[in-house]
Amino acid sequence: MKLNATIAGVGMTRFMKYPDKGLKELGAEAINAAVSDAGISMADVESAFVGNCAAGLVTGQESVRGQVILHAMGVGKIPIINVENACASGSTALIQACTMVSAGLYDTVLALGVEKLSHEDKSKSFAAFAGAMDIDELQEMIEELKRAAEADGADAGAGQNRSMFMDVYASAARAHMANYGTTAEQFAMVASKNSFHGSLNPRAQFQQELSVEEVLNERMIVEPLTRAMCSPIGDGAAAAVVVSEKKARELGITKPVTIASSVMHSGYNHADDEPDTVQLSSREAYEEAGLGPQDIDVVEVHDASAPAEIIAYEQLGLCAPGEGGAHVASGASRLGGRQPVNTSGGLLRKGHPVGATGLAQIVELTEQLQGRSGKRQVEGARIAMAQNGGGKKGNDAAAMVVTILRS
């Protein structure tokens, strides 16, 4: 359906490791910030969609995560719907909130993404990522990744001391290098660029700027990915208040940000000449919004690894296939460039508490379109795009969302 929804307010925590904070505290901080930003009270919220991916494995909280968080804030009675959709949980919560408002069922809906991913036992955190694949096929996937790594002369320790997704991304990176001549230095350019952006973001998990050389000299995780090319484990929450046109007028919003389009697709076993979920979602999002890649002013992509950002440039049509490495090297995706990408620092530097990531992208882009991003502000930004997905099924992401916002 055609969405007709306005973002009235956004808020988020800083992303980092919070040993003394749980889902309730993190969720409440983001919710209170978004509600205050919207100029409403919690009494105005008619429904809530709460995205979370891994609490069952990491904290043991199952089934009623949204109710637990909101009840602690004194909120009950309203419909609270829990959303779990891999790393796209937060963006899925946003789509659901926008759909309810667009359908005329509610005037004010809360979308929250929250994650407590860090744990003193890292195997629990890694297990949360492994669970985003088909567990009946998990051992087969591990063996396939090991064979691919051995064939490329890379470390074959998939699933042992790191997220298996880093092995998936590393395999894709090596294929991109073989097919297009992309270099490890170009992957490092992504991490270095995003470290510069993250150094300007007070809510980023890492705020130290890194040179390309420093990125390359970090500890190797799995060839060609050094530690700085991999998104970190962390905790955090992000939220958005979504309202109808009627409610937006009542609130007197002076700098409205509307959802021009938001499209979701699930993974499928596509042939090499068929579009993947990112291509499917972005093409439909462009068409629905009446826009093209050239119209986008600022972009947040799902850079769970540095190669993922380079590949996303191509999937989203920001550059031609095979030219992602040259694209980052040209400076086009850096602040001051033609289309800055991941001005927040991206997942690499802002952090990746998986259930919160999709909504954190929306927070960043909403503030960019309203001209309140401080030192990382993109001059004259009017149209923004977010690409957020996760999980794996077959040869594709399990869930993918592309959202276009307009000021």
Query: Are 359 and 239 within 8 A, CB to CB?
Result: yes
pLDDT in tens, 168-200: 899 999 999 999 999 999 999 999 999 999 999
Listed residue (307, 89, 81, 269) closest to 178, CA to CA: 307
- Residue 284 and residue 199 share a domain: yes
> Does residue 114 lie within any of the structural domains?
yes
> Does residue 250 lie within any of the structural domains?
yes
> Does residue 326 lie within any of the structural domains?
yes
Q: Residues 15-53, buried b or exposed e (16+ Cβ, 10 A)? A: bbbbeebbbbbbbbbbbebbbebbebeeebbbbbbbbbb
> Does residue 184 lie within any of the structural domains?
yes
Element (H, E) at 173: helix 164-180
Which of these three, 259, 274, 308, is where a domain ends?
A: 259
> Does residue 51 lie within any of the structural domains?
yes
- Residue 190 and residue 70 share a domain: no
pLDDT (average), residues 145-155: 68
Q: How far apart are CA 219 and CA 197, in angstroms?
A: 22
> For residue 159, is pLDDT > 60?
no
- Residue 206 and residue 164 share a domain: yes
- Residue 274 and residue 174 share a domain: yes
- Residue 246 and residue 388 share a domain: no
What residues make up the domain containing 95? 6-120+234-259
pLDDT in tens, 273-316: 889 999 999 999 999 999 999 999 999 999 999 999 999 999 99
> Does residue 358 lie within any of the structural domains?
yes
User: Which residues are annotated as catalytic?
Assistant: 87, 352
- Residue 227 and residue 108 share a domain: no
Q: How far apart are CA 353 and CA 12, in angstroms?
A: 12
- Residue 352 and residue 372 share a domain: yes
> For residue 328, is pLDDT > 80?
yes
- Residue 287 and residue 167 share a domain: yes
Compute the mean pLDDT over every residue in the chain, rounded to the nearest whole number.
93
Number of domains in the chain: 2
Name the percent of the chain lying above pLDDT 90. Answer: 82
- Residue 104 and residue 72 share a domain: yes
> For residue 231, is pLDDT > 70?
yes
- Residue 191 and residue 108 share a domain: no
- Residue 276 and residue 249 share a domain: no
The pTM assigned to this predicted structure is 0.94
Listed residue (248, 284, 246) closest to 264, CA to CA: 284
CA angle 287, 289, 293 (to 5 degrees): 70
Sort residue 119 into left (φ over 0), alpha (ψ -120 to 50) or beta. Answer: beta
CATH at 386: 3.40.47.10
The total of other beta-carbon atoms located within 10 Å of residue 249's CB is 12
Which of these three, 259, 294, 329, is where a domain ends?
A: 259
Burial of residue 161 (CB within 10 Å: 0-12, 13-18, 19+) is exposed
pLDDT in tens, 15-46: 999 999 999 999 999 999 999 999 999 999 99
Burial of residue 269 (CB within 10 Å: 0-12, 13-18, 19+) is exposed
> Does residue 371 lie within any of the structural domains?
yes
- Residue 187 and residue 39 share a domain: no
> Does residue 1 lie within any of the structural domains?
no
- Dig out the tokens for 202 from the structure: 């007070």
